[in-house]
Chain A
Amino acid sequence: SQKIEQNSEALNIQEGKTATLTCNYTNYSPAYLQWYRQDPGRGPVFLLLIRENEKEKRKERLKVTFDTTLKQSLFHITASQPADSATYLCALETLGNEKLTFGTGTRLTIIP
């Protein structure tokens, strides 16, 4: 069966370090992979999209990699700040499917 797993439910990182979140999937052939941020009591907010033929995508302090052989995406936040504390969700889209399937999320806490 299809499954999306995000490495851990919760992750604590010291301020200033790089936070790395993992999204693994099985029995999917995603054409695109997206990352979202969700703060408590709010809806998710889109951060980055990466296509299957792209290895890496960057946006300011954020970096996403996509390895279709390993069936894995890594999401990095460099020079992490307490304001980066949130839940981060990965989501897969298969070509022509018109919809996303979300992982359960990783709750990231940046410790001052």
Chain B
Amino acid sequence: DAGITQSPRHKVTETGTPVTLRCHQTENHRYMYWYRQDPGHGLRLIHYSYGVKDTDKGEVSDGYSVSRSKTEDFLLTLESATSSQTSVYFCAISGPTSGRVNEQFFGPGTRLTVL
């Protein structure tokens, strides 16, 4: 398995609280991605990063922010969690080739419940 971990693996929080999910890789891959997966919607891209401090929005970025201060870490923050953000969150990595996306390697996922 690619060296990619996510923490926490499970979290229950209350509406209005801030939440930060962490993705850590040991592969030195350039690209990192955050997805959410919901029944009927499949995997949807929230944000992605193409290098340290270089990030861009995905399809469903509202209510989320990200940061990447080191190659190996990509943080996803919900500033004020809402019940609609209850989901399973996956981090993925890809690279190191630039110019096109290679296959992506996924982490084990974080199940987030917002009450």
Interface residues of A (CB under 8 A from B): 31-32, 34, 41-46, 49, 89, 93, 95-105
B-chain residues with CB within 8 Å of residue A46 when the two chains form the complex: 103-105
Whole-angstrom CA separation of A102 from B90 in the bound complex: 13
- The total of interchain contacts (Cβ-Cβ below 8 angstroms) comes to 54
CB distance from A84 to the nearest CB of B (A): 19
- Interface size range on B against A: 20 to 34
Known A43-B107, A105-B42; contact A99-B90, beta-carbon cutoff 8 A: no
Q: Considering the complex, which residues of chain B in the window 31-59 have a beta carbon less than 8 Å from any beta carbon of chain A?
A: 31, 33, 35, 40-45, 48, 50, 58-59
A-chain residues with CB within 8 Å of residue B45 when the two chains form the complex: 99-101
Q: Are A42 and B101 in contact (CB under 8 A)?
A: no
Whole-angstrom CA separation of A102 from B104 in the bound complex: 12
Top 9 A-B pairs ranked by shortest CB distance? A43-B106, A104-B42, A46-B103, A102-B43, A93-B101, A102-B42, A44-B106, A43-B90, A43-B109
Some 16 contacts from A to B, beta carbons below 8 A apart, are A43-B92, A43-B106, A44-B43, A44-B104, A49-B103, A89-B43, A98-B31, A98-B48, A98-B100, A99-B33, A99-B48, A99-B101, A101-B59, A102-B43, A104-B40, A104-B41
Across the interface, name the chain A residue whose C-beta is closest to B108.
Answer: A43
Across the interface, name the chain A residue whose C-beta is closest to B4.
Answer: A43
Whole-angstrom CA separation of A2 from B113 in the bound complex: 30
